[in-house]
Structure 1
Amino acid sequence: MIEEKDLFKPEEKRYRILMASDFFYPNVGGVENHIFQLSQCLIKRGHKVVVCTHQYKKRKGIRYMTNGLKVYYIPKQPTFRQTTLPTLLNSLPMFRNIMIRERIDIVHGHQATSCICHETITCAREMGIKTVFTDHSLFSFNEIGSFNLHKVSNYSLAEINHVICVSHTGKENTSLRAKIHPIKVSVIPNAIDASQFTPDPSKKTPGEITIVVMSRHTYRKGVDLLIQLIPIVCKKVPNAKFVIGGDGPNRVNIEEMREKYNLHDRIEMLGFVPHELVRNVLTRGDIFLNTSLTEAFCIAIVEAASCGLFVVSTAVGGVPEVLPSHMIKFAKPDAEQLAQAVIDSIGPSQEVDPWLFHSQVKNMYNWDDVAERTEAVYDKIQFDVQQPLVNRIHRYFNCGTWASKAFCFALALQFLFMLILEWLMPANEVDIAPDFPLKQFLKNKDKLNQSWTKSYKVIERANEK
């Protein structure tokens, strides 16, 4: 909980930020956690933050979260992997209304696969609002799905004020596929709340080497590598045990391998593990194993190192940038080499000082630092000037022979549609939403806690009677 003394002075520059993405709570994942934690730290620094996402089953409308974080669960149904269907004009009136009501200065979109992210950025572009985009993933250049995604990024990010990537590898990937000059791309890594990932050596089983795996069981996460290397490690290391958390379409393949090699006592399948319980699983281990085939950052290995585990990982994407060499051992995405890396790491894992690892990770990755660097990006883009329509159209001519013509048509159509909306629903007639009284809330929270405690006691007494 933020304390009143932690807030910045009111005379400092204060932005009104709209975080936009298909991925947010109650769904659980790296992007969802990133948006929430960054928003909380920006609120702590004196800014107003609003989140825009799609509805989750019955959760729709406006909700308030910790410290007055306002969330718009707009009436759009997710279709595939928690993403909504893209629209060109249908959602613009709704996004425009939200931005006017909340007096938004900056729209910050997250994740390239999010349609809400791209739609809010294009809407903000027509309204002259500054835009920032954070890319959390890597995408290939030889798949049809990725090719279509690159074209969408070409269009929505053509006039972006700034892009943030979580690794230098991600920066190169995003610059190439979205055709953005590297000078407009910054690298700000992910972070963790280290207080939630503390070591507990008493949870380890004496005489056993416990190897923890926490990931979705999908091809991209290297589940095929995991299936091949486990029998190799179990054969060469008699006291090795695997604790596997997570779920996914390939989970049945792991279970079949366990049946085939009769490894029921050596492989513990936990299934889906809620994020608040991940630390309890990690503290049981000596080694954390990551078999991903592509990763922009991999927050899981940071959480594991914070809990005092030695990490073994495939050397892919931005993973080699994340941890120093004394915390991690790399191998190529090959089952034999990865199994040997696990075996070679048994000795170093027994010599780890868990609290030293935790202290180092806490200093390297914290959300206050991420928020400060993100705020510096917000300060930088305030000097950007909105270009006239003619100059804007020229930016789309390098997006491909046919795509450039379609993009110019879409740009002109959106421009005209926004003029019609302004005529039908003038901005000065839209009701302005009041800000959450955070300082007043923090002043009165002790009184509120006391009154809530008294209410609970009255209810308990009534229940006893």
Structure 2
Amino acid sequence: MISDYFFPQPAGGVESHIYQLSTKLIDRGHKVIIITHQYEGRTGVRYLTNGLKVYHVPFFVIYRETTMPTVFSFFPIFRNIVIREQIQIVHGHASLSSFCIEGILHARTMGLRTVFTDHSLFGFADAASILTNKLLKFCLSDVDHVICVSHTCKENTVLRASLDPLMVSVIPNAVVAENFQPLSYTPHSNYRVPGVPPDRRAVPPQIGPDDTITIVVISRLFYNKGTDLLIAAIPRILASHRNVRFVIAGSGPKAIDLEQMLERNVLQDKVEMLGSVRHEEVRDVMVRGQIYLHPSLTEAFGTVIVEAASCGLYVVCTRVGGIPEVLPQHMTTFAKPEEDDIVIATGKAIAALRSNKVRTDRFHDQVKMMYSWTDVAERTERVYKGICGDISQEEFYGRYYGQAWKASEDRVRSFALIDRLKRYYGCGVWAGKLFCLCVVIDYLIYVVLEMWFPRAKIDIARSWPKKLHSSGDKRFSISSRGHDRQNSGSSHH
């Protein structure tokens, strides 16, 4: 796994996705390492839960935890890590990650299979989106397969990078539901009252007309997260509903605008700002409220609204991007990304809770059935098998794939330099030639590295010991140089 965005950065959808997917793949018997850039006080190799190994590479960070794109200077250390760890598949995350884009380029030069997961939506008109889309086209011209977190994200990525839709799979994010339980959660199997038939569950506490309703917002305070809409809507919501309070967690450049609005309207006693919170503290913040407000302007999936629903919160969110695909309608009230509509939708949610028409006590068990990281890992593993040839192309792409095989042989990416150059050349009149030049230079650097720093001089890293339970005995299976060795007794780290 390779991306600029990973812990200890405050957790977002990309960071938690990489971590949870990696741990579940390790549970399924795979070896997984993560490559990201250094953070303050964290450089070098670190081990996380379950033997997940993280390389924090010292690189210059320029904006929002993204490293400065250099195209080639990352190659020597990337090659060293890949050879040391005997990597077979490189899986990049996030289209704005320099490490991801450069890692996929280098991996293809080294003859490795590659997968890319897109977590974001981008437009087509503004200068930043045009440049980003051209960069994505460069990255995905030679990738083996692409994963998107929603169907809207897939449509967006296919258009931005001019991809064959068959090369793009949709695998959503998920949540660890056990970590996002409501404050007073009782499993439905035991959620019964003596003397009441089993099919009639206990009624949750009622919300009276004078009870305080707390609205929770947990978000990075950036423009694309709808912070400006939030700033405009809060005074109007509080003016219309006297027994309503806000709890806002998150940090970003828009925090100062939010604080100025509170001072201007004298709302400090009704709005509590917590600043940045760690991911393990998110549940404790969410269970303080009854409504979760998500005014985002663009969102490919929106993991945080799944976490909120799992905590038993009624969700008010904008109808943008992949958000309408995430939760069923009885858990959400949708609004247009406009100030007036957000105020109206929040008012509807408050009225629904006060009338006790919404059974939020059932949300957790429903979310638990809908989203699972184990399922995400299984579907991602199937993608890995498909690009490595462990399953047939007909089975991987569908029963109609065999009929179109001859016309679509390019879906099986060749590592030959001439074939790679053909794919890059079609990226544009000028961009195609520039991309081809980058690929040729990358290949020449690889040849020089193979001559001056031969693979034989690179030590092979020892894999993390895995516990095996057999006949009541605990044994350790250690994979080294492609061979499994089993040693009895304790492990040495």
TM-score (norm 1): 0.88
CA contact (8 A) 2:330 2:358 kept: no
Out of 366, 369, 372, the residue aligned to residue 363 of structure 1 is 369
State the alpha-carbon separation in 2 of the partners of residues 88 and 273 from structure 1: 34
Tell me, in whole angstroms, the C-alpha distance in 1 between the residues paired with 2:121 and 2:474.
Answer: 44
> Greater helix percent: which structure?
1
Pick aligned residue for 2:81 from 98, 119, 136? 98
Residue 319 of structure 1 aligns with which residue? 323
3-state DSSP class of the match of 2:158?
helix
Change (3 A) 1:216 1:104: same
Q: Counterparts of 1:121-270 in structure 2 under 5 Å?
A: 121-201=104-184, 207-270=211-274
Aligned AA (2:377) = A
- Does structure 2 conserve the Cα–Cα contact (< 8 Å) formed by 1:91 and 1:119? yes
Tell me the equivalent position of 2:302.
298
SS in 2 for 1:79: strand
Conservation of the 8 A alpha-carbon contact between 1:201 and 1:283:
no
Alignment identity in percent? 51
Deviation of 1:204 (Å):
11
Partner of 2:199: none
Give per-residue Cα distances to partners, 1:417-436, cap 9 Å, x unaligned. 21222122222442211111
State the match for 2:486 in structure 1. none
Question: Distance between the aligned counterparts of 1:351 and 1:268, measured in 2?
Answer: 28
For 1:166-186, what per-residue CA distance to the aligned partner results, in whole angstroms no more than 9, with x for missing partners? 111111111111222111111
> What is aligned with 2:406?
none
Query: What one-letter code is carried by the residue in structure 1 that aligns with 2:343?
Result: A
Change (3 A) 1:184 1:385: closer
1:343 to 333, 343, 347: 347
Shift in alpha-carbon separation, 1:385–1:220, aligned structure 2, 3 A = closer
Say if 1:99 and 1:234 are closer, same or farther in 2 by CA, change over 3 A: same
Preserved contact between residue 204 and residue 285 of structure 1 (Cα < 8 Å)? no
Q: Which residue pairs with 1:462 in the alignment? A: none
Letter in 2 for 1:118: I
Q: Which residue of 2 aligns with 1:14?
A: none
CA contact (8 A) 2:333 2:349 kept: yes
| Counterpart residue number, 1:381 | 387
- 2:454 & 2:244 partners in 1: Cα distance? 67
* Structure 2: distance between partners of 1:88 and 1:211: 45
CA distance in 2, matches of 1:270, 1:374: 36
Contact kept, 8 Å, 1:199 with 1:354, in 2: the verdict is no
Question: What letter matches 2:383 in structure 1?
Answer: V
Larger mean Cα displacement after TM superposition, 350-359 or 103-112: 350-359
**CA shift at 1:115, angstroms?**
0.8
**Higher mean displacement: 326-335 or 145-154:** 145-154
Which residue, out of 63, 75, 78, partners 1:80?
63
CA distance in 1: counterparts of 2:72 and 2:229, whole angstroms:
44
Structure 1 distance, partners of 2:72, 2:264, is 54
171-180 or 259-268, larger mean C-alpha shift: 259-268
The Cα RMSD (Å) is 2.2
- Aligned letter for 2:336? K
The residue aligned with 1:415 is 443
**Preserved CA contact (<8 Å) 1:204 1:283:** no
CA distance in 2, matches of 1:407, 1:178: 14
Residue type matched to 1:300 in 2?
Answer: V
The 8 Å contact of residues 149 and 173 in structure 2, kept in 1 or not, is answered as yes
Q: Verify: 1:353 aligned to 2:359, yes or no.
A: yes
Query: Is 33-42 or 248-257 further displaced after alignment?
Result: 248-257
Could you tell me how far apart the structure 2 residues matched to 1:205 and 1:257 are?
29
Cα distance in 2 between the residues matched to 1:251 and 1:88: 34
Instruction: State the 1:37 CA deviation.
Output: 0.7
- Return the offset for 1:276: 1.2
Tell me which of 258, 269, 284 is aligned to 1:280.
284
Q: Distance in 2 between matches of 1:385 and 1:300?
A: 36
Q: 1:42 aligns with which of 25, 29, 32?
A: 25
Give the SS at the match of 1:52.
strand
Partners of 1:358 and 1:344 in 2: how far apart? 22
- TM (norm. structure 2) is 0.83
1:420 maps to a residue whose letter is V
Please list the CA deviations of residues 393-434 of structure 1 after superposition, one character each: whole Å capped at 9, or x if unmatched: 111222111101111111111112212221222224422111
**Cross-structure match for 1:451:** none
Residue 26 of structure 1: aligned partner: 8
In the superposition, relative to structure 1, how do residues 217 and 48 fare at CA in structure 2: closer, same or farther (>3 Å)?
Answer: same
**Cα distance, 1:365 vs structure 2:** 1.0
Gaps of 5+ in 2: 186-204, 390-411, 477-488
Corresponding residue for residue 459 of structure 2: 431
The answer to whether the 8 Å contact 1:214/1:245 transfers is: yes
Gap regions ≥5 residues in structure 1: 1-18, 449-465
CA distance, structure 2, for counterparts of residue 186 and residue 35 of structure 1:
17
